Structure 1
Amino acid sequence: MVSNPRMFWLVLVTAMAAFSAAASAGPELSFGAVAAGVTAGSLVHAGSLIRLALRIHHGRRSFGPCRGAGFLGMGALFTGLGVAATGVAALTPSIAAPGLVAAVTTLVAAPTFLLGLLLLPGTAPTVSARLRRLLDGAGIGVTLCYSVWVLASGPAASALAGPLPLTVAVTCCVAVSVAVVTGLRAVRHRPAAIACAGGAALSIVGLGVFTVLLSALRSPDHPFGPTADWVAAGLVAAGLALIAGPFLIVTGARRADDVPTSPHAADSSGTLAGYPLLVGPALLAIAVSVLHLLTGGRFDRAALGLGFAAVVAVALREALAARDIRSYARVLATREAHFKTLVAGSTDVTVVLDADLVVRWQSPAAARQFSLSDQDVLGRPLTDLLHPADAAPATEALHAVLAGRQHVLVQARLRDGFGRWRDTESTVSDQRAAPEVAGVVVHVRDVGDRAQLQRSLDEATWTDDQTGLANRRKFLASVTEAHRTATADAGSVLVVELDRFESVADLHGPTVANAVLVEAARRLRTGVGRDDLPARLASAGFAVLTDAPLVHAFALATRLATAFAEPFHLPGHTVHLTADVGVADLLGATDAEDALRHADIARRRARQLSRGRDGGRVECYDKSFEAALVRRTDLEQQLPGVVGRGELDLVYQPVVDLVTRRPVGAEALLRWRHPRLGAVPPQEFLPVAEELGLAEELGEWALHQACRQLSRWRGDGRDLWMSVNASARQLAAPGWLATVATAIDTHCVPAESLIVEVAEAALPDDAGAIEQLAGLRALGVRTAIDHFGTGPTALAHLRRLPVDVLKIDQVLFSEPAGQRAPATPIVDVVVGLARRLGIDVVACGLETESHVDVVRAAGCQLGQGFLLSRPDHAEHVEAFLERHRARLF
């Protein structure tokens, strides 16, 4: 296709070669060759433009976007057909005058090109804009023609003396001017519009040159002569212009589409953009006229006609511009009246500042809303009207707007006309780039009612409804502020938790529980200092923020714990509670939540240490507490399901005859080996199992494993007994006896070979425990008290307990550090009493030979300890048993 750049250059080079070859043969043959090349190029490009118009119409289903390309294609078609007809007329003089045919072609093609150019998408979107483009081009073209006509004389003027050549010349000037103005003033797709305008201008100029040259060819009396060399050169130049023009039109038309944009209103309507273009040509025409008069020249009819046409075009454009200005003025007046109405009726105060933040204008609402007159405000910096505490942040925000931020919200107190401070909220925007404003616009709103409502809401939402103390939100906000302003030796946080408060509602009802909380809040409020902040965090959780250092805060916590330990005397009820208190240094935390967490960790540590005590406990935060808490939390998370995961194991420690050093029995000891936590000692995880209610499950597993191992050993001919530890909770469980009986029957072990051990400190002193021990004895299972001597059991109490074995602790036979008094008398008493009661005694914790000597001297025959054998797995204990064949005592 010729619209391809490579094909265009190929056609152009071929045409130039043909034109040059034909030029040497004479003007007529040169014109024939040029006409043939121009006809072919114009028709091909006309076909491209028409196909483009049809494709646009098919895609858009509308005639609007395709009209420009269609009329441009028609212009190229008229050009090709007209040039072809002109060539035929030039070669056959008897048919028609070629100059007349060329003139008609120009007068038809030029308006068609202009119509297509004006209808291209984005060049002139409205009818009024197209009319302005035509008037601008007509004024420029006619004025330039007038100036040239007046300045020219002699042969040039004679060449255009006829009405037809003059008409063609004026038409070409006007058309080229309109094309240039339309391309340069395009609203959208300006490069495409310029390409189309340039192509149309080249085509029109080429047609005009053809008309003039053909007139010269057929005028023997022409002053330049019909065989002048310039005629051939002109024909070649006109042909090249007519070949290049359609190509530029096709290129530009393909780049333009109908995608909507947002041009300026003046550009889109063409009201003001084109008006200054007439100034230059009008001044030139005036200057030429004055010069012509001064040199004694006279104006002929053509000059007068051209001048009149130029005056009419300028007058029409002036009238249209005046109408546009009046219309635009009416629009501005309407907008100004609308703006004044909105500003006058608005409750917001609008203030315009200059670059120095000085008030340049304020809306009338300032007097109505804040009683501020213009003399009170204008010429003063805005920050002078603000509260001193709010002036610096407001200035920073205003400078941020000046630095480039689009919108800023400023909250500040403004002094009104009566000297009162009013809560305001202002939005600031930079409008210095807008010529109508040229300043910083501040919209000020009175938010006093909203601020008061917000303060009331904050007061309501920051207070605990039940106790009247500050709630958690208020407490955290206060801790945050105190942490920010705390000194190096002041500031502490206390967390208080009432123990066993949940049982109050269960036993006495929610009314009594609420009364306890109210009384607890009163005691807390009374116990703290005047500057301290008491708060309620949770159901029975309280907190105190004090500016006292850690030592004084500990004393305050002790007083609070004592106050909460006092009985709560309520109508018809008396409630006894205790409180654990945790204390944390304020500066030892990173933020408010961290400080509260430290105090709560100390409180949880105090609760762990206070179990089994009558009163509460106070603890200060230490990093080791947090590590221990994390460790305990891990145990609580990992302990459930430990039996199913197979992480439990049993190790066995032999019990030997102290005389023969031969094993007579073994104690099964529970162990937990976790893949991540490692080996967890029983004294660490068994209390956690008690709290989680897993003690019975772990005890049952250990009982069955011990009985299974005992069955194996006895099956191998080893006559041993096995002792298994049981907790107080297991002993009190209703199904414990059935569990023991099942284990004995399942693993086929003699009942008397099983001993159930209960630690002395965990031994319940009630009838139920005695009944359970008696039940074990009824099954044939022996019972034992472990670690005797570390608990509160009196020797006389042994008479009531159905116990078969007494395992005495090391504290009864080891000599106290720094003392030389022997422990033998104590062991003598215990062993002697046990012997009289028929109870066997086992000395536990034997670590040295001196320990063995002491207990043997007291008459104790059995022993257990690291000196004799360490706890180990079954296979290692079996090796120990092989070395010491057991026999019953």
Structure 2
Amino acid sequence: MGDTSTLRRDAIRHTQNALLYSGVKFSAVGSLAAAVVLVTTFHEIVNTHLSYVWMFLVCSIYFARIADSFLFAKDQQAENRTDYWSSRFYWGAMFSSAAWASSIWLMFPADYPAYQVLLVLTIGAVAGGALASLPYDNKLSLTFQCLLFFSVEVKLLTFGSSFSYEVALYSAFVFGFLISCGAKVGVNYLELLRLKQDSQDTNLAVIKATEQMAQMGYWQWEESDEHVTLSENLSRLLGFDRKTVTFHDCLAKIYPDDRHILRNSLRSVMEGAEHAEAAIEYRLGIAGDTDFRYIRQLTRRMSDSEGKMCLFGSVQDISAIKTAEDKIYNMAYYDSLTQLSNRAQFHEHLENYTLLAKKNNQKYSIIYMDLDNFKGVNDSYGHETGDGYLSVFADYLRSIVSRTDLISRLGGDEFCILLHDITGDQEVNIIAQRCLEFSDQPIEIGNHRIHPKLSIGISIFPEHGQQPDEIVKSADLAMYHVKQHGKQNIAVYNESMEKDSTERVRLEADLRKALADDDFELWYQPKYDIRTNTIAGAEALIRWRHPVKGLIPPDLFITTAERVGVIKDIGEWVLASACTQLKQWNELGYRIQMAVNISGDHFASSGFSDHVKQTVLNKGIHPEDLEVEITESLSRDPLAHTRICHDLRSAGIRVAIDDFGTGYSSLSVLGELEVDTLKIDRSFIQHLPEDKASKLMVKTITDLALGLGYECVAEGVETQAQLDFLRALNCPYVQGYFFSKPILAEDMLELLSQDQQTTNVA
């Protein structure tokens, strides 16, 4: 009996040793890293000699322990030398603890309370690390932590300041928590090791079953015994305070309607062959409950060494899984923001409506709605306000539509109402008109007032299509027709809309093809420094040379590019081409700034600043010669865009706000965005110097820019009078037709040459 006990102890001890030594390398790396950080941080405020001595001590101990771990791994007789290796590990851990315990005595920053806290936190972190590296030896873990704890407490209490007393109290709580956790974890690990050794064959069966079912608890039941043995977790799950209960006690915990499921499962396993098994799901609860706990169970029939048959069951609480399944269903079929049905559910219902309508000779209708200028709301007031706008509209739709009809958010700002079994067009028009009435009054979202506008398209089955996708397409075309003809209206589909759609689709296809066929080109408008009458820079302006329609300005295709999702590709092409051209001018001896317009979608895209910096690097231009222009509306989301502006400016790249004065920027926003330049919109310049309001606005913006230390550029200068007015305001830079229209690169080169010659003569 004694030999068996000794073998059992040695086997458990060897397993402990293996687990402890396997974690040495990781704990050593963490401790050494902490020591390096500590010495580096404290080198200017504590005795440097002592800190280096302490660092040498820590390194020596941990390197010795790492060497021990390798020796243990190579020792083929380690299983027979458990006491030897246990002793070596114990003293290695104690030396480590002592070294860390000494740190608060050798490197205590008496005059720096913040560093005192940092030192205590570091030692506490080392103590916390013992929970992960020493959980398999409860005595060792507690000794390690207690040594650190007493060292910290004694030092803090003997130091004698009120602050050190407070830190000592805080440390007592932290170390107390760690020590109590360590004790509990150590006991649990030791119990697990003992259970493994005591009933290896039984536990292997349990482990196999619980691995299949993500164990949460297990039970064992001999057919000849009325009692069932429960694991601690299962006992707690079922609400018992003991591990041995009767079968009827267990059955009483199961929801009455599901008890037959358990009985049938147990009967089939007991009547089956050895190793027969069955998996079932049932609910825990009593009659009348609505809040169940869902259980999945795997039952297996096995025999012990004496040939007695018994049942083993592993169970898992799958309530969270059931909840997750419900959430997944909601995510798949409902819009998370508005709680309306989403596109997937809409199309599923549409298929069913179509089949039912064909079968019963019925009609149904789609009301397709789009919130006009929703993107402008998002850009101007932020996404939180935009989300609130969508939610308010969704609530309004619920208030006017019958519960038997389906309201869906298809994505973005597009909504659909599916009206089934309609009797005529009139009832559809009534609902559509009520939807349009949403725009009768402004709505308040936070501190912002929004004036809603809607474009609504209607299609009816079977007049406007025989298939679900045809009906959706017809309603979409009708809605888009409204958008193209003034918005804020309702249109019922007719065949003439198909032609408009075809032209729109053709333009989108041509736009996609233009990028691949290199149909875009850059024109350049010079920026003049009116203080020196020289060219200071150029703004790169994209043009589309369509093979049939000729030269197309950006205002006729940029919106389409944003809608079809190619604006980022176009923006990257403009950036690369402008930088290439700038490099060529640099090589010819002309050093100017190049301004590039960036769309909102491109600016907010992932990795934008990194791409700009990489382009500058690849093209070999000076970062300060590139200026990224963003529209003023982008500055309404400073939290999202400050990082981008800061990242660009940190790399030397300049940032300008274009069309300033037409948006909603504030002084705080400008400060957060860290811009370099404000460009006054041409709409203010064109009425100078006659219009008083324009004069006041231009003067205000100029004074604002110069006062904040920004550069100021006036766009759209076309007359001498405008130039004279701006010069009187000390506005340093201008661009416009008075000096030059946008021109091709070769013409710009000629201007640069003339400008240089004039400068040299002067």
TM-score, with structure 2 as normaliser: 0.41
Which structure is larger by alpha-carbon Rg, 1 or 2?
1
